[in-house]
Chain A
Amino acid sequence: RKEVEQDPGPFNVPEGATVAFNCTYSNSASQSFFWYRQDCRKEPKLLMSVYSSGNEDGRFTAQLNRASQYISLLIRDSKLSDSATYLCVVNMRNQGGKLIFGQGTELSVKP
């Protein structure tokens, strides 16, 4: 089992759709969780951290389910500019706190 796994992509959705990404992790002691966004030919950029109680930033909502060991990202009212690859990141306490990336899920929002 991979340490961090994401939904396979790509996701092709129309503008205005709601889309959800899931990410599972193997280390139950993990404490830090993040979502990143990567545009083509650019470096990954932090989208949002994921807190235990869940958190929202505009159209984006992140959730953490410790019991099932997964995190999710919900994008509401998707825009063309949301087209990118979305990556989840989890810290690995059994590896000195090293942050591990999932393989990423590509999102394409069409007009």
Chain B
Amino acid sequence: GAGVSQSPSNKVTEKGKDVELRCDPISGHTALYWYRQSLGQGLEFLIYFQGNSAPDKSGLPSDRFSAERTGGSVSTLTIQRTQQEDSAVYLCASSFLTGAMYFGPGTRLLVL
């Protein structure tokens, strides 16, 4: 069956540009999570959606980061004015209520 998909799989951008990352969760999953992971580091929580609302945005590192979810499905994570320290793998996961979460393959972002 279809799992979580993310696009693009890789993104190279120049410092100062905006980027948009997309996540398509498993159909019917109510919760959606965004994490990022730098090489050799643990998962860093960014934001959590239940339906279209985000009860927890506490992990967004700065106001350059924003995320939305529409129709209880697709989510986009936008990073404005990218910086080199934004380079990481951005992972999306979805779950049904409080069931197990399933991850997408991630978007590898490199800011030059």
- A43-B103, A99-B31, A103-B42 given; 12 more Cβ-contact pairs under 8 Å: A32-B98, A34-B100, A43-B91, A44-B103, A87-B43, A89-B100, A89-B101, A97-B31, A98-B48, A99-B95, A100-B45, A101-B45
Interchain CB contact under 8 A, B98 and A46: no
From B50, B104, B106, contact of A97 by CB (8 A): B50
Q: Do the beta carbons of B45 and A31 come within 8 Å of each other?
A: no
Chain B residues near A (Cβ < 8 Å) = 31, 33, 42-43, 45, 48, 50, 55-56, 91, 93, 95, 97-106
Pair B98/A91 contact, Cβ less than 8 Å: yes
CB nearest neighbor in A for B58: A95
The 7 closest A-B pairs by CB, nearest first: A43-B103, A97-B98, A91-B98, A32-B98, A96-B55, A46-B100, A103-B42
Q: How many angstroms between the C-alpha atoms of A89 and B100 in the bound complex? A: 9
Give the shortest distance, in Å, between B103 (CB) and chain A (any CB): 4
Contacting pair B98 A99 (CB below 8 A) = yes
